[in-house]
Structure 1
Amino acid sequence: METQGRRYYRLAGRGVGELLEKLTEFAPARPVRSLREGTRAAQLRAAHVSWD
């Protein structure tokens, strides 16, 4: 973890990111029921993009 105003977490390696990708295939999609949930989902998608 690095702190630069925000906390940034680094994965141990490319294999960890690939494992996380595979795990999301098994997780059922949850419907967004509030603005807060929608915002959180958008943040997670943005974090996903920055795995590389």
Structure 2
Amino acid sequence: MLEPTDIPQRRLPRFGFHGHTEKLNGRAAMLGFIALLAVEIKLGHGLLIW
């Protein structure tokens, strides 16, 4: 059996879903959620209730 001599190089797409951007988005969402919980605990009520 012949082995290939060239190894294909995978190029990252310029737009769409990427692993690193999805991780960054998830981390930002987690930080926002924790910040929201901290504000609600500090105020004693939810943010949507004035």
TM-score (norm: length of structure 1): 0.32
Higher relative contact order (CA 8 A, sep 6+): 1
Higher strand share: 1
TM-score (norm: length of structure 2): 0.33
